[in-house]
Amino acid sequence: MSQKTLTFALMDPPYESANLTTAFRLLTAAAERGYNLNVFAYEGASALAFARQAAHPNPVHGKNLAEENHPTTREQVAALLACAEKNGGKVDWVNCGMCVDERGVNEFVPGTRRGSPADLHAFTEASDNILVIPTK
């Protein structure tokens, strides 16, 4: 079977919606299959790959940084890129330019890039299939 290319459009911001948990499960499963993945992260999702996200302790619960073990979506994005590379696939992760400018999140995890809705159009043309995961 030929290598598949799938496109996912993500819209939800980090740390707010179960949609992203499911989205990362889907993306990881596809990367493990060696699929090529295109991701268009727009609106709130443009902050997923923001490089300055920082884990934090939780003093209210009496946990230090290590005990809290706070996951960040920038780490999830980086792990996805590594998983795809390990399995022979590629990830083209595009952060919507206007969306990142609006939110001041214009510093990205290495391996992701700035783009525009034109990239989503190009992804759609070049993919075997596409799934849009909109915000509620």
**What is the binding site for other proteins (CB under 8 A)?**
4, 6, 18-19, 21-22, 25-26, 29-30, 33, 35, 128-134, 136
CB of 123 to other proteins, least distance (A): 14
Closest CB to other proteins among residues 75, 128: 128
Tell me how far, at minimum, the Cβ of 1 lies from other proteins, in Å.
8
Task: Report the alpha-carbon angle 94-105-119, nearest 5.
Answer: 20
Q: How far is CA 71 from CA 20, 35, 55, 57, 93, in A?
A: 13, 25, 7, 11, 20
Q: Measured from the CB of residue 88, what is the shortest distance to other proteins in angstroms?
A: 16
Cβ-based nearer residue to other proteins, 53 or 76: 76
Among candidate residues 5, 1, 2, the one with its CA nearest the CA of residue 90: 5
Inter-residue contact 72 to 53 (CB < 8 Å): yes
β-bridge mates for residue 85, sequence order: none
User: 88 or 134, CB closer to other proteins?
Assistant: 134
Closer residue to other proteins (CB): 80 or 105 = 80
